[in-house]
Amino acid sequence: MNEQRQPVMTTYKLVLPEHLNQYGFLFGGNLLKWIDETGWMAASLDFPGHQFVTVALDRVEFRKGAQGGNVLRFDVYRERLGTTSVAYRVDVTRSSLETGHDEDIFSTHITFVRVDRQGRKCPLAPPANSPEPT
């Protein structure tokens, strides 16, 4: 997951008790929700004035868990740019505030399509001030 190029966006989330299951670990659904929100924010910042809907989330494989008090870092990289869609890779790293240790716990690709007010696909304009995928 360690990438040499810069992410188009990085954000953080604190894992709180309401995010945990009965065993004290992060519910997978919460992580997927945060990935969807983070990807959507990256797309919306990349393409101001566009409306996006999520159309795909690739492989969902939880490598490691997270517990209350962990800080999760979401690094978002633009991977593909189509006529009406844009795809990002989202890497999630868990940080322990007690030890300072960072660990990669999850990575996936998420795809958004631009839609008009009636929900129909429409073309993307060029991205605003963000690096092109390599």
pLDDT reading at 26 higher than 90: yes
Q: Based on the structure, what is the number of domains in the chain?
A: 1
Q: Can you name the residues that pair with 13 across neighbouring β-strands?
A: 72
Q: State the average pLDDT for the chain.
A: 91
4 part of a folded domain: no
Q: What is the mean pLDDT of residues 13-30?
A: 96
109 part of a folded domain: yes
CATH number for the domain spanning 59: value is 3.10.129.10
**CA dihedral defined by 123, 8, 29, 55, rounded to 10 degrees?**
10
pLDDT reading at 17 higher than 80: yes
Helices (H), the chain: 28-46
pLDDT digits (tens, 9 = 90+) for 59-68: 888 889 999 9
pLDDT digits (tens, 9 = 90+) for 84-106: 999 999 999 999 888 888 999 99
Q: Which of 41, 63, 66, 62 is nearest to 52 (CA)?
A: 41
132 part of a folded domain: no
CA distance 31 to 38: 10
Contacts of 27 (CB under 8 A, 6+ apart): 19, 20, 21
Domain that holds residue 50: 9-115
Q: Is the pTM of this model over 0.85?
A: yes
pLDDT digits (tens, 9 = 90+) for 109-121: 999 999 999 999 9
Assign 4 a pLDDT band (cuts: 50, 70, 90). Answer: low
Assign 1 a pLDDT band (cuts: 50, 70, 90). Answer: low
